[in-house]
Amino acid sequence: MDTTSPASPPPSDARRSLTTEAVHAGREDLTALGVHAAPLDLSTTYPSPDSRGEAARLDAFAATGAQLSGPPVYARLDNPTTARFERALARLEGTESAVAFASGMAALSAVLLARGAAGLRHVVAVRPLYGCSDHLLESGLLGTEVSWAEPEEVAAALRPDTGLVLAETPANPTLVETDLDALAERCGDVPLLVDNTFATPVLQRPREHGAALVLHSATKYLGGHGDVLGGAVACDEEQARALRQIRFATGGVLHPLAGYLLLRGLSTLPVRMRAQSAGAAEIARRLAADPRVARVHYPRLGGAMVAFEVEGDPHAVIGAVRLITPAVSLGSVDTLIQHPGSISHRIVAAEDRRAAGISDRLLRMSVGLEDVEDLWRDLDAALAASAGSASGPERPAVPATVPAH
Ligand SMILES: *Cc1c(COP(=O)(O)O)cnc(C)c1O
């Protein structure tokens, strides 16, 4: 059995580079366990022969939300495989702690519930956001109330009951960037949550720019292979305690196999990000020079996402790619393309979508590790199909009731 205490101290060598941390962080306990690869512990429960002792440990968790010391008790409380991923992500983001969840949306929900439980139900958010994050706030499903604001308007939008400011940069799907230092200053004492899914800690560490909470859809670059759903919040230990209590009570835990795959994914994150970003920058350069393309969005920060508006029919591009997979989601080793107006941001009302700069002609591409020449040949043929297509982009590809992914 993998009985590591999840509270093992992090290594003290602060000079290690992110590339080295990505390979080694979270694995500090393996030598003592006598193994080289991280073990996968699938237990849902653990032997507890000392009930009195367990009662005291559970009381301590209920009172503080601090991670249990000693062996695990039950898989909804903690799991050593997942804890390794959490320790590693905290190292990479430069935060004290990280708390993993079943998905990015479960992670965001836990933050909103934790703030709501503290009596702070009002959220100030900057558009655009990932479609379902927008929907979660706009719908008020979790009892929150949202004020949408431009980054410059955030200070004016704060109220005494504001519990959170939320922003994405580069944002999904337009890749618009926000100056985090300036935004954090406008938040005052209100914690700023930055969704760092697109940049990853390889390109941007929001904690160093004043963010209190860093959100990841780990489903994307952290996993990196399109085969694991997960989410995480990197933050200080005080916030992490509140999030662990919410996770225990609401049950949105990351499956240990997902924790195993995510730790494995982190070890190649820096090399994947660098290689995929180089491919994306070259694709963005070629698109910008292409007369069939009206506008290209590529962040100053870099990254492996490219968004572009076509002159012709965007649905024809989606229908014509052969090497590139026409699919929602992003961050995998293979290239994906999708039409945000039809899929990832379909659940956002059309007028809100357009006001946030999400044109009906916008396509969002997640560039993988393929050879750029092969990708360009495929995209070039798909753009030829769109330029030759008579139908405009107004026709919806899916019914309006299909929720975004
Ligand atoms: C996908 C995504 C999410 C939601 O994550 P899931 O893992 O799908 O729940 C949140 N934010 C961003 C920026 C995303 O791309």
pTM: 0.93
220 pocket-lining for ligand 1 (C-beta < 6 Å):
yes
Q: Of 16, 57, 74, 76, which one is the catalytic site residue? A: 76
Are the beta carbons of 308 and 293 closer than 8 angstroms? Answer: yes
Strands 122-125, 162-168: pairing kind: parallel
Where do we find the tokens 């898989």? 75
Peptide bond into 173 cis (omega under 30): yes
173 pocket-lining for ligand 1 (C-beta < 6 Å):
no
Q: Measured at the alpha carbon of residue 117, what is the angle toward residues 112 and 118, in degrees to the nearest 5?
A: 100
Q: What is the side-by-side order of every strand in the sheet holding 362-366?
A: 293-297, 305-310, 362-366, 336-338, 325-326
Q: How far apart are CA 26 and CA 313, in angstroms?
A: 47
Q: What is the pLDDT of residue 214?
A: 99
For residue 207, give the DSSP letter: G
Give residues with Cβ within 8 angstroms of 14, minimum separation 6: none
Q: Which of 111, 132, 203 to mutate to test the pocket of ligand 1 (most atoms within 8 A of CB)?
A: 132
Domain span(s) for CATH 3.90.1150.10 in the chain: 269-388
Are the beta carbons of 87 and 81 closer than 8 angstroms? Answer: no
Residue type, 116: G
Q: Which of 172, 176, 228 to mutate to test the pocket of ligand 1 (most atoms within 8 A of CB)?
A: 172
Are the beta carbons of 198 and 170 closer than 8 angstroms? Answer: yes
Helix axes 80-93, 256-288, angle to 10 degrees: 40
Domain span(s) for CATH 3.40.640.10 in the chain: 18-119+181-268
Q: Quick one: fold of 18-119+181-268?
A: Aspartate Aminotransferase; domain 2 (3.40.640)
CB atoms within 10 A of CB 3: 13
Are the beta carbons of 26 and 93 closer than 8 angstroms? Answer: no
pLDDT by position in tens, the chain (length 405): 444 444 444 555 778 999 999 999 999 999 999 999 999 999 999 999 999 999 999 999 999 999 998 999 999 999 999 999 999 999 999 999 999 999 999 999 999 999 999 999 999 999 999 999 999 999 999 999 999 999 999 999 999 999 999 999 999 999 999 999 999 999 999 999 999 999 999 999 999 999 999 999 999 999 999 999 999 999 999 999 999 999 999 999 999 999 999 999 999 999 999 999 999 999 999 999 999 999 999 999 999 999 999 999 999 999 999 999 999 999 999 999 999 999 999 999 999 999 999 999 999 999 999 999 999 999 999 999 998 875 544 444 444 343 444
Q: What is the CATH code of the structural domain delimited by 269-388? A: 3.90.1150.10
Q: Which atom of ligand 1 is nearest to the CA of 106?
A: 9
